[in-house]
Structures are given as structure tokens and as C-alpha cells.
């Protein structure tokens, strides 16, 4: 493998890792607050991709307007899911909300098959993002530079919200102790909605960029990336935003590099993530950045 | 007094959570056959001690000896198999099961036959299942719950749930029983009955009992030796009369209110 | 008490005899479509009861059933496919050495399918059950996906994406219902034993179960492995019933259907799962009408492809939101409850 190829693979890995990281953040935030694995998150990601498709194909909106609209709509869907399917179960056994999220996930997928049809749709990409630039012999897709940069910007924004603003403080408080936070006069429901909104917006951003990177979208496209992003969140240490980013990047590199170095294994690509999950959890059950949680007796 | 065996010894037992030292150098020796008490204000670290002894927490420092055997760091189920059973401060029954099933689950530890014998219907398996059910009934009679054997555990009133929890612990055939606030939520009449029940249980099952309790009447009435824990440190130990008279204990734990009411 | 036991055993035998008579009658009088549905009911019941053991009785949220079914289906199919058929269907790459000639009677093939699925179950349970319950769902789901990835790629063993065709259709009503009764018997015996009580204890309160001396890890691994065994059997029967399998068949949808049956019937209720299998299997077939055009008078409402699964998944959410305990909750339908319609419902024995 030459150095130029290695650089190209690294850029690809960085891009894929960014996309995973953005989805993983949604999982980790929801899990941190509600201890719920939101199985429907991957499907919210899929909705983001479809919204951008329809914004362009159906409404002929300019690119940036489409992006904003798609993110807002997806975010709204995420909040709606929480309202309808998780909030009524907040005091129920945790397993109920988990089943509900599986049901919602399946519902969104099948509804998408009915509405969008199962036929893959081609996403039209702005040409400047996909016209290859040569730089010292390295062939660079501008997209592979733009995606990590946008990811970086979004994560920085998120960290600002979580660590420097009042709603962010409330989020962190809820993740420690929801009841006490409620007693402190925080409107827990609003904060949870906000969490779902932010998580879904990031998933939408990832979905849009995913559609640019892999411009064939279909209703089940959220399933595998969703699973892998959840794994990224667990590997990084669930509940930790930094962990989600690190986990996502790690997963992106593992996938791209294994296929790059051992092309014969490319058929098994989708299995790497799960093997990585099991290995990491056996070595460090709380994930790379996770805090140790003592069992309450 | 010195004739007795030491059933439990905890030299230098310490538990730290992050930077917080919950229990510091908890060092006790419990003599076989005694009923002893561990008291202290809320948050003093009493339950943490129980959790270390029963293997829920792995102590940061120090050791736990059960009959001179080092059981530090053993997983909970193995500690129980050694002969240490406990109850919980916030009662933890198997609420979806019947009263009888709860006790049978306790007795499962000493069951020899294994799961694959169930579908085979072997006579030895059926006999043992019957023995366990009989033993569970016997224990329910001992705690006065045999009439309720078929009821769901969550349908029992509070006091009976406490007794069921003790029966369930007894079913594991312990030598050493840890009771975490057995009198919590009981009225004076009930706690008075509980005292006798604890004493009788010790006689009937040849037990050593360590209890955490806030009800001073129960503690002073039933315990032969008491340790006092405050902010994770032992501040006093001795027979009840001494503890009652100990100024440090009165100040730290019993407080002015107690002096006024006494 | 003793008299009741004898009465109940007699009633159970009468019921089994009644079922046999019904099967015999159905075999002669039902058309192929109805018989197919009856076969699916039996297989779904096997799958649902085995998932219920893992999930409803031991409290482990497993989503790996499709994976175990996949293993069972492939193992058993490879053992009953005639050698000539194997040669004919392995077009891309020839089947590898010992498998091309491997052959076993149907019963053995199905049981071996279960055994190999159980081995996979054990291998996944050993690392994954070390973790808390939360990761189990995702890890088992991942496992199901890995199995499919392997089924797709290990072409000399599985024939890859082409799948296996022409599997002998031995799985008739008798075999399916026979295996169903076998599954019920084993799992009911286990659940009603004191070992079963220990599993329920882990489900109800793991901390207390540990304090009672139960090695919760080992018990969960055991329960998971037993469940995987019966899932493998279900998959093996399904393969022979449908005579064709490919990796795509064992998508998550498969697990989802079983989960739906278990939740609708009631987590922790065997009879609930049985009733759930009957109701949901028939419902799923009946729901096909929404995908066909409906003609009312001179109007024709076009069918909507995919709508069936939309309604199906929505029902799961609605059940969870409005009737979380499902049809039966943790209760069982017993002879005692059936015979005393005014008495309250009780537990088995």
C-alpha cells in the first residue's frame, strides 16, 4: 500500500467515522438520560436522507434550504416519537420502552416502504462536492474533507450546549438523577424533548451526508448504520459524548482499514462492528470513556 | 465468652467510591451464636458494610474472614453458598412469585438435581422437588406465613413481607444471618414481636445474627454486642449498657433529642 | 390435591388426543393454504415459547431468534437434502467435502439443527451475558446479522445468497405438532421446576437472586442456550416446510414476529404464547387483504403493498402503550381456571 492510498483510505475512514459519530451521539444522549436504547434512531437517520431527497427532487428547493428543512423535519419526527411512544412509558418497566422503540423502528421502516416505496432513490449531489481534486497525487473527494469538518463543527456546538448553557446543565442533571432534577423545578419533559430534538437533528445531518456519500437511499438504509452507531456509542462508553465520537471514529477506521488491507474480508464488513463490540466490552465493559457505574443494592 | 469461635472478622475493611471513603477501617469480630448489632446515623455506611460482607461490593482495602476463611471479593452467590444470608433494607422479594415460591428459591441453593432432570421426570428429581417444597412450607410455618403460601408476594402487608424475606434467607441454610433494618416501618407491638422472633430464630436455626437497626428498643433489647458507625468510622463498641452510656455515641448518634426524651 | 392432579393429567391427555383427531381431520379436509397456516401456527408456537423462556421467564431481552433459526434451518436442511440435489444447486462453488454426503433422518436432522443452534447460543451468551442486560438486545441483534453475513459469504457451505432449494418437505402437520408438544413439555417442566423459579427470581430481582445464592450468570446462560436450541428446531422445521431457504429469510422481521407473539400473549405466560401464536399467525394471514385490491360495489380500492407490516408494527406499539401485560400477563390458563369460570385465575399447579 502506497502512502497516497493510505491517505485516501484515511480520509474515507474519517468520513465514515464522522457519520457514525453523529448518529452515535443521539443514542448516547438518550441512553444517558432515559437509560433507553432508542432502536428507532437509525430510522430517524433514514428519514433525514429522504427529506433531503424530496426537498431536491420534489420541491426543487435550493440546497441549503433543503438541508435546513430536512434537519428541522427530522428533528420534529424524533421529538414526536418520544412524545407518542416513550413518554407514556416513562414510569413503566424499562423493557416496555425498549419494546416500544423496536415497534416504532419497525413502524417507520414499513411506513417508509409504503410511502417512499422500496425502490432505491438516487440523490442528486452538488457537483463541487463530488468532483475529484488532485493534491500531490492524492485523489481527494471534497466530500471527504467537508464531512469531517461539519462533524467537528456540530460536535463543538453540541458540547457548547451541553456544558455551557442552562438546558445543557439540566440535561446533565437529568442523566444523574431524574427525580431530583424534577424537584429542582426543571421541566424534565421539555429537556427530554430537546434531547431527542438535538439527537435527531444530528442524525439528520448524518443522514444527509450519508446520502451524499452513498447516493442510493432506501427505507432500510438506517438499520445497519444505526446498529453500528449504537455499537460505536457503547464502545466509546455509553452516556459520554466524547465516547460516541471516539467510538464512531474507531469503527470507521476499523471498517475501512480492514477492507483496505484485507480485501478478501470485504464480504464480512458488517460483522466487524459486532466483533469489535464484544472484544471491547470484554476488555473494558464500560467502554473506552465510560464511567464505572456501581450497582445499586 | 472467649470460648466461642469467631464467625466473622473484618480487619481493616475499607470502601471508597471515587474520592469518597464510605467505610473506613471497619474492623469487627463477631462471635458464633451471638446476636449483634450495627448502628449509626443514616448514611454512616452500615449497608455498605453489609454489601461488602455479602460480596456485592469488592472492598477497596481489608479482608473478610468467615470462620477463618478469606472470602474477600467472592461473588455474592458464593458468599451465600458459604453460609451467609441477608435481607434488604428496602425489601427485595420476588414479587411476581408466590410466598411459597419465594422460599423455594432460597432453598434452591442447596438443591442437588439440575435443570435437565426436570423434563426427564426422574424419581430422584421429583423427590427432591417435594422435599424442597416441604422444607419451604416448614419455614413458612416457623414465620407464621403458611396460610399465605399460595398468595403472590406483593399482596402481603409490609410486616409479613419482612418475615417472608427472613424465611427466604433461612431457606439457604445460613450460619450467619444479616438483617438490614428488620424493624423498619413496624409499630411498637410488631417490633416487640420481632425481637422475640429474632431470638427464637437464632435458637431454632443455630444462627449468628448481625443486624442493622434504627429502633433502639429492638437493638438494646436483642443485641448482645453493638458496634457504632459514624461517617464510615467505628466510634464505639460494647454491650448495650455501655453503648447507651457512651457519651461519644450519644453525641454522634442518639443526639440531644434522645437525651430529652429519655 | 392428588385427585386434581390426576384429573388435570387426564384432561391434558384428552386434549392432546383431541388435537390429534383434529389434525387427522384437517389433513383430509383442509386445503393446502389452511394446512400451511396450521403448520405455521405450530412452528410459531415453538419459537414463541422458546423466546418466552429467554425473555419472559428469565428477563433477558434477546433479539437473536432469527439467527438461531437460521443456524437450525441450514444445519437440518443440509442433512436432509439429497446429494444429487446438493450437486445441482451449488452452482457458484461446489459444496465442501463432508457436507456433500452428510445425511440424516429428518428427526435427527431437526434435533441436530437445535443442538448446533444451542452451541451458537452458548458461544454468544458466554461473552454477552457477562454484561448488563441493556447490551443484550443489541448484541443479540448484531449476532443475528453476523449469522446472515456468514450465510451470505460462506458459499461452499451455505450456497451464499442463492440459498438452498428443493429441501424435502417432511415437515407435515404431524411432525410440526409433534415437535411443538415436545417443546411445550420440556419448557413447561423446566419453568415449573424450582430451577424455573430461580429463573423467574433472576427476572424479578437480580440482586436478590444473587443474595439467595443463585449464580445468575450461569443460569442466564443456561436459559439462553435452551431457548436457542428450540429456536433452532423451529428454524429447521420452517426450512422443511417452505422447502427453500436463503439468508434474506432470516432478517430481523423474523425475530420481530416472534417478539410480537410473545408480547401480545404475555411475557412469562406459556399459554399466552400459545394463544398468541394462533391469533397472530392467523391475523398476519388475514391482514394480507390490505395489500390486495378491495372491491366495494363498483369501487375498487387499490391494495397497498407493505401496509400489512405497518399495521402489524403499529399494533405492537399500541399493545405496549395500552395493554403492556399482553393477553395473559404472567398468568397461565390452567384446567382449574378453565373449569371454574367464576373462580379467579391461578398459576400452574
* Mutant choice from A41, A94, A107 vs C, greatest count of C C-beta within 10 A: A107
Instruction: Provide the pLDDT for residue C344.
Output: 47
Instruction: Provide the pLDDT for residue C343.
Output: 47
How many other C-beta atoms can be found within 10 angstroms of the C-beta atom of residue A138? 15
d(CA A194, CA A180): 19
Chains with at least 3 CB pairs less than 8 angstroms from chain B: A, C
Predicted confidence (pLDDT) at residue B248 exceeds the cutoff of 90: no
Residue in B88, B119, B132 nearest the CB of C208: B88
Identify whether A64 is part of a domain.
yes
User: Average pLDDT, stretch C117-139?
Assistant: 84
CATH of the domain at A240: 1.10.3470
A52-61: long-range contacts, CB 8 A cutoff, minimum separation 24: A52/A123, A52/A207, A52/A208, A52/A211, A53/A121, A53/A123, A53/A211, A53/A217, A56/A123, A56/A124, A57/A121, A57/A124
Q: Which residues of chain A neighbour B57 with C-beta distances below 8 Å?
A: 294, 297
Instruction: Provide the pLDDT for residue A42.
Output: 95
Residue in B80, B93, B96 nearest the CB of C213: B80
Predicted confidence (pLDDT) at residue C52 exceeds the cutoff of 60: yes
CA distances from C101 to A102, B135, C171, C236 (A): 42, 55, 22, 19
Q: Which residues of chain C neighbour B105 with C-beta distances below 8 Å?
A: 194, 197-198, 200-201, 209, 212, 214
Q: Can you read off the three cell numbers belonging to residue C221?
A: 446462560
The answer to whether the beta carbons of residues B208 and B85 sit under 8 Å apart is no
Whether B80 sits inside 8 A of C212 (CB atoms) is: yes
Q: Is C128 on the interface with A (CB under 8 A)?
A: yes
Q: Which residues of chain B neighbour C190 with C-beta distances below 8 Å?
A: 115, 118-119
Q: Which residues of chain A neighbour B90 with C-beta distances below 8 Å?
A: none
Whether C194 sits inside 8 A of B168 (CB atoms) is: no
Instruction: Provide the pLDDT for residue B253.
Output: 66
Identify whether A124 is part of a domain.
yes
Chain A nearest-CA residue for C205? A297
pLDDT digits (tens, 9 = 90+) for C196-217: 999 999 999 999 999 999 999 9
The answer to whether the beta carbons of residues A198 and A29 sit under 8 Å apart is yes
d(CA C216, CA C16): 35
Residue in B77, B92, B101 nearest the CB of C197: B101
Identify whether A223 is part of a domain.
yes
d(CA C128, CA C121): 10
Q: Is C137 on the interface with A (CB under 8 A)?
A: yes
Question: Residue A253's domain spans which residues?
Answer: 3-283
Spell out, as residue ranges, where chain A has pLDDT lower than 50: 294-295
d(CA C61, CA A37): 12
| Strand ranges in chain C using DSSP code E only, listed in sequence order | 294-296, 299-301
pLDDT digits (tens, 9 = 90+) for B107-148: 999 998 889 999 998 899 999 999 999 999 999 999 999 999
Identify whether A291 is part of a domain.
no
B257: confidence class by pLDDT, cuts 50, 70, 90: low
User: Average pLDDT, stretch C72-76?
Assistant: 97
d(CA B108, CA C216): 12
Chain A nearest-CA residue for B180? A297
**Residue C15: exposure state from Cβ atoms within 10 A (0-12, 13-18, ≥19):** exposed
Whether B105 sits inside 8 A of C214 (CB atoms) is: yes
- H-only helix segments in A58-187: 63-81, 94-116, 127-130, 142-164, 166-176, 178-183
How many other C-beta atoms can be found within 10 angstroms of the C-beta atom of residue B8? 22
Instruction: Provide the pLDDT for residue B3.
Output: 72
pLDDT digits (tens, 9 = 90+) for A53-94: 999 888 888 888 999 999 999 999 999 999 999 999 988 888
Nearest CA of chain C to the CA of B76: how many Å?
Answer: 6
Identify whether A297 is part of a domain.
no
**What is the per-residue DSSP string for C30-83?**
S-HHHHHHHHHHHHHHHHHHHHHIIIIIT------HHHHHHHHHHHHHHHHS-H
Q: Is C189 on the interface with B (CB under 8 A)?
A: yes
Whether B129 sits inside 8 A of C194 (CB atoms) is: yes
More confident residue, C178 or A177: C178
More confident residue, C335 or A193: A193
- The answer to whether the Cα torsion of C118, C123, C124, C127 is positive or negative is positive
CATH number for the domain running over B1-83+174-262: 3.40.50.300
Q: Is C60 on the interface with A (CB under 8 A)?
A: no
- Which residue's C-alpha cell is 455474592? B76
Nearest CA of chain B to the CA of C214: how many Å?
Answer: 5
Identify whether A289 is part of a domain.
no
Please report, in angstroms and rounded to a whole number, the separation of the first and last CA atoms in chain A: 54
Determine the 3-state secondary structure of C131 from DSSP: coil
Instruction: Provide the pLDDT for residue C162.
Output: 92
Q: Which residues of chain B neighbour C268 with C-beta distances below 8 Å?
A: 96
Nearest CA of chain A to the CA of B133: how many Å?
Answer: 28
Residue C251: DSSP 8-state: S
Instruction: Provide the pLDDT for residue A3.
Output: 83
Query: Parallel, antiparallel, or unpaired for β B84-86 and A121-122?
Result: unpaired
How many other C-beta atoms can be found within 10 angstroms of the C-beta atom of residue B14? 18
Instruction: Provide the pLDDT for residue A18.
Output: 96
Instruction: Provide the pLDDT for residue C327.
Output: 84
d(CA A64, CA A195): 24
Q: Is C328 on the interface with B (CB under 8 A)?
A: no
Q: Which of C233, C305, C279 is nearest to C72 (CA)?
A: C233
Chain A nearest-CA residue for C132? A285
Q: Is A95 on the interface with B (CB under 8 A)?
A: no
Q: Is C12 on the interface with B (CB under 8 A)?
A: no
d(CA B253, CA B261): 14
Residue B177: beta bridge partners? Answer: B85, B209
Q: Is C262 on the interface with A (CB under 8 A)?
A: no
Instruction: Provide the pLDDT for residue C346.
Output: 45
**3-class SS string, C299-315:** EEECCCCCHHHHHHHHH
Whether A274 sits inside 8 A of C137 (CB atoms) is: no
Q: Is C193 on the interface with B (CB under 8 A)?
A: yes
Instruction: Provide the pLDDT for residue A128.
Output: 81
Q: Please give the tally of structural domains in chain A.
A: 1
Whether C131 sits inside 8 A of A281 (CB atoms) is: yes
Q: Is C182 on the interface with B (CB under 8 A)?
A: no
How many other C-beta atoms can be found within 10 angstroms of the C-beta atom of residue C17? 10
Backbone angles phi, psi at B4, to 5 degrees: -70, 150
Q: How many Cβ pairs closer than 8 A exist between chain A and C? A: 110
Instruction: Provide the pLDDT for residue B254.
Output: 58
The answer to whether the beta carbons of residues B36 and B237 sit under 8 Å apart is no
Q: Is C115 on the interface with B (CB under 8 A)?
A: no
**What is the per-residue DSSP string for A255-282?**
HHHHHHH-GGGGGGHHHHHHHHHHHHHH
Q: Is C343 on the interface with B (CB under 8 A)?
A: no
Instruction: Provide the pLDDT for residue C347.
Output: 44
Q: Which residues of chain B neighbour C189 with C-beta distances below 8 Å?
A: 118-119, 121
The answer to whether the beta carbons of residues C188 and C347 sit under 8 Å apart is no
Calculate the CA C300 to chain-centre distance. 38
Residue in C138, C312, C314 nearest the CB of A227: C138
Q: Which of C164, C167, C148, C170 is nearest to C95 (CA)?
A: C164
B72: confidence class by pLDDT, cuts 50, 70, 90: very high
Instruction: Provide the pLDDT for residue A292.
Output: 55
Chain A nearest-CA residue for C148? A271
* Mutant choice from C51, C320, C323, C326 vs A, greatest count of A C-beta within 10 A: C320
How large is the ipTM?
A: 0.91
Predicted confidence (pLDDT) at residue B258 exceeds the cutoff of 60: no
B260: confidence class by pLDDT, cuts 50, 70, 90: low
Q: Is C214 on the interface with B (CB under 8 A)?
A: yes
d(CA C269, CA A62): 56
Chain B nearest-CA residue for A293? B17
Chain C nearest-CA residue for A219? C306
d(CA A88, CA A97): 9
Whether C145 sits inside 8 A of A230 (CB atoms) is: no
How many other C-beta atoms can be found within 10 angstroms of the C-beta atom of residue B245? 10
**What is the per-residue DSSP string for chain B?**
-TTSPEEEE-TTEEEEETTEEEEEEE--EEETT-EEEEE-STTSSHHHHHHHHTTSS--SB---EETTEE-TT--HHHHHHHTEEE--SS----TTSBHHHHHHHHHHTT--S-TTHHHHT-HHHHHHHHHHHHHHHHHHHHTT-GGGTTSBGGGS-HHHHHHHHHHHHHTT--SEEEEESTTTT--HHHHHHHHHHHHHHHHHHT-EEEEE-S-HHHHHHH-SEEEEEETTEEEEEE-HHHHHH-HHHIIIIIHHHHHHH-
Chains with at least 3 CB pairs less than 8 angstroms from chain A: B, C
* Mutant choice from A94, A104, A278 vs C, greatest count of C C-beta within 10 A: A278
Nearest CA of chain C to the CA of B103: how many Å?
Answer: 10
Q: Which residues of chain B neighbour C215 with C-beta distances below 8 Å?
A: 75, 77
Nearest CA of chain C to the CA of B214: how many Å?
Answer: 22
Residue C164: DSSP 8-state: B
Instruction: Provide the pLDDT for residue C139.
Output: 81
The answer to whether the beta carbons of residues A39 and A101 sit under 8 Å apart is yes
pLDDT digits (tens, 9 = 90+) for B158-179: 889 999 999 999 999 999 999 9
Q: Any idea where the domains of chain B sit in the sequence?
A: 1-83+174-262, 93-172
B199-203: long-range contacts, CB 8 A cutoff, minimum separation 24: B199/B35, B201/B142, B201/B166, B201/B170, B201/B177, B202/B33, B202/B35
Q: Which of B137, B214, B194, B193 is nearest to B170 (CA)?
A: B137
Amino acid at each position: 500500500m502506497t502512502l497516497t492510498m493510505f491517505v485516501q483510505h484515511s480520509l474515507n475512514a474519517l468520513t465514515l467515522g464522522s457519520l457514525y459519530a453523529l448518529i452515535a451521539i443521539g443514542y448516547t444522549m438518550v441512553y444517558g438520560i432515559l437509560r433507553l436504547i432508542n432502536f428507532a434512531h437509525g430510522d430517524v437517520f433514514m428519514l433525514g436522507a429522504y427529506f433531503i431527497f424530496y426537498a431536491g427532487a420534489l420541491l426543487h428547493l435550493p440546497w441549503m434550504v433543503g438541508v435546513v428543512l430536512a434537519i428541522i423535519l427530522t428533528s420534529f419526527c424524533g421529538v414526536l416519537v418520544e412524545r407518542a411512544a416513550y413518554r407514556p412509558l416513562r414510569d413503566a418497566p424499562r423493557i416496555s420502552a425498549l419494546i416500544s422503540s423496536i415497534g416504532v423502528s419497525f413502524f417507520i421502516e414499513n411506513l417508509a416502504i409504503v410511502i417512499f416505496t422500496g425502490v432505491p432513490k438516487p440523490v442528486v449531489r452538488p457537483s463541487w462536492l463530488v468532483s475529484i481534486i488532485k493534491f500531490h497525487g492524492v485523489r481527494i473527494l471534497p466530500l471527504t474533507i467537508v464531512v469531517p469538518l461539519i462533524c467537528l463543527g456540530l460536535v463543538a456546538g453540541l458540547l457548547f450546549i451541553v456544558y455551557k448553557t442552562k438546558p445543557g446543565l439540566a440535561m446533565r442533571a437529568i442523566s444523574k438523577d431524574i427525580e431530583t432534577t424534577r424537584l429542582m423545578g426543571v421541566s424534565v419533559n421539555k429537556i427530554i424533548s430537546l434531547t431527542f430534538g438535538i439527537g435527531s437533528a444530528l442524525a439528520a445531518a448524518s443522514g444527509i451526508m450519508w446520502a451524499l456519500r452513498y447516493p442510493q437511499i432506501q427505507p432500510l438504509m438506517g438499520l445497519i448504520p444505526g446498529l453500528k452507531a449504537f455499537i460505536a456509542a457503547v464502545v466509546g462508553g455509553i452516556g459520554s459524548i466524547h465516547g460516541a465520537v471516539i467510538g464512531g471514529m474507531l469503527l470507521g477506521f476499523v471498517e475501512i482499514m480492514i477492507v483496505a488491507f484485507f480485501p478478501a474480508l470485504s464480504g464480512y464488513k458488517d460483522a466487524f462492528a459486532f466483533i469489535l463490540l464484544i472484544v471491547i466490552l470484554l476488555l473494558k465493559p464500560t467502554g473506552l470513556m465510560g464511567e464505572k457505574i456501581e450497582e445499586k443494592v | 465468652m472467649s470460648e466461642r469461635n469467631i464467625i466473622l472478622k473484618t480487619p481493616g475493611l475499607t470502601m471508597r467510591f471515587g474520592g469518597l471513603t464510605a467505610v473506613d477501617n471497619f474492623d469487627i469480630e463477631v462471635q458464633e451464636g451471638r446476636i449483634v448489632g450495627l448502628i449509626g446515623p443514616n448514611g454512616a455506611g452500615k449497608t455498605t458494610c453489609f454489601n461488602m460482607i455479602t460480596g456485592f461490593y469488592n472492598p477497596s482495602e481489608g479482608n473478610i474472614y468467615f470462620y477463618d476463611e478469606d472470602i474477600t471479593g467472592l461473588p455474592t452467590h458464593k458468599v451465600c453458598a458459604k453460609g451467609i444470608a441477608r435481607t434488604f433494607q428496602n425489601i427485595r422479594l420476588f414479587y411476581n412469585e408466590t410466598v411459597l415460591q419465594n422460599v423455594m428459591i432460597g432453598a434452591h441453593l442447596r438443591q442437588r438435581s439440575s435443570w435437565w432432570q426436570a423434563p426427564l421426570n426422574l424419581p430422584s428429581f421429583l423427590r427432591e422437588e417435594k422435599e424442597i417444597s416441604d422444607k419451604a412450607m416448614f419455614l413458612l410455618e416457623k414465620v407464621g406465613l403458611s396460610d399465605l403460601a399460595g398468595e403472590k408476594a406483593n399482596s402481603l402487608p409490609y410486616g409479613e413481607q419482612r418475615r417472608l424475606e427472613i424465611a427466604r434467607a433461612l431457606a439457604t441454610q445460613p450460619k450467619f444471618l444479616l438483617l438490614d433494618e428488620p424493624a423498619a416501618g413496624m409499630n411498637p407491638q410488631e417490633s416487640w414481636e420481632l425481637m422475640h422472633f429474632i431470638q427464637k430464630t437464632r435458637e431454632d436455626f443455630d444462627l449468628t445474627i448481625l443486624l442493622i437497626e434504627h429502633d433502639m428498643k429492638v437493638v438494646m433489647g436483642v443485641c448482645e454486642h453493638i458496634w457504632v458507625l459514624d461517617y464510615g468510622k467505628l466510634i464505639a463498641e460494647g454491650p448495650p449498657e455501655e453503648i447507651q452510656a457512651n457519651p461519644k455515641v450519644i453525641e454522634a448518634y442518639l443526639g440531644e433529642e434522645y437525651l430529652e426524651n429519655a | 390435591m392428588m385427585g386434581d392432579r390426576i384429573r388435570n393429567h387426564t384432561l391434558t391427555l384428552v386434549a392432546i388426543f383431541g388435537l390429534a383427531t383434529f389434525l387427522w381431520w384437517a389433513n383430509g379436509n383442509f386445503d393446502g393454504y389452511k394446512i400451511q397456516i396450521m403448520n405455521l401456527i405450530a412452528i410459531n408456537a415453538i419459537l414463541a415459547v422458546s423466546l418466552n423462556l429467554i425473555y419472559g421467564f428469565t428477563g433477558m431481552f434477546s433479539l437473536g431468534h432469527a439467527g438461531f433459526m437460521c443456524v437450525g434451518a441450514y444445519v437440518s436442511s443440509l442433512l436432509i437434502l439429497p446429494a444429487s440435489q446438493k450437486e445441482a444447486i451449488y452452482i457458484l462453488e461446489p459444496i465442501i467435502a463432508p457436507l456433500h454426503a452428510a445425511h440424516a433422518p429428518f428427526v435427527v436432522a431437526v434435533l441436530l439443527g437445535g443442538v448446533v443452534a444451542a452451541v451458537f447460543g452458548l458461544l454468544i451468551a458466554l461473552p454477552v451475558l457477562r454484561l448488563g442486560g441493556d447490551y443484550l438486545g443489541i448484541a443479540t441483534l448484531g449476532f443475528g446479522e453476523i449469522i446472515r453475513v456468514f450465510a451470505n459469504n460462506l458459499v461452499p457451505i451455505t450456497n451464499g445468497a442463492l440459498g438452498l432449494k428443493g429441501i424435502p418437505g417432511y415437515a407435515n402437520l404431524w411432525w410440526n405438532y409433534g415437535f411443538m408438544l415436545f417443546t411445550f413439555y420440556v419448557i413447561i417442566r423446566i419453568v415449573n421446576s424450582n430451577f424455573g423459579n430461580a429463573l423467574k427470581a433472576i427476572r424479578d430481582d437480580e440482586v436478590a437472586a444473587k443474595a439467595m445464592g443463585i449464580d445468575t450468570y450461569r443460569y442466564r446462560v443456561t436459559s439462553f442456550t435452551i431457548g436457542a436450541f428450540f429456536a433452532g428446531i423451529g428454524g429447521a422445521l420452517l426450512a422443511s416446510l417452505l422447502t427453500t431457504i436463503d439468508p434474506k429469510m432470516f432478517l430481523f422481521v423474523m425475530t420481530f414476529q416472534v417478539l410480537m407473539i410473545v408480547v401480545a400473549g404475555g411475557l412469562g405466560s406459556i399459554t399466552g404464547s400459545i394463544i398468541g401464536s394462533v391469533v397472530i399467525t392467523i391475523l398476519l394471514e388475514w391482514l394480507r387483504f390490505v395489500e390486495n385490491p378491495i372491491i366495494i360495489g363498483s369501487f375498487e380500492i387499490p391494495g397497498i403493498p407493505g401496509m400489512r407490516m405497518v399495521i402489524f408494527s403499529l399494533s405492537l406499539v399500541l399493545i405496549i402503550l395500552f395493554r403492556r401485560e399482553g393477553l395473559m400477563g404472567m398468568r397461565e390458563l390452567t384446567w382449574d381456571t378453565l373449569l371454574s369460570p367464576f373462580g379467579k385465575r391461578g398459576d400452574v399447579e
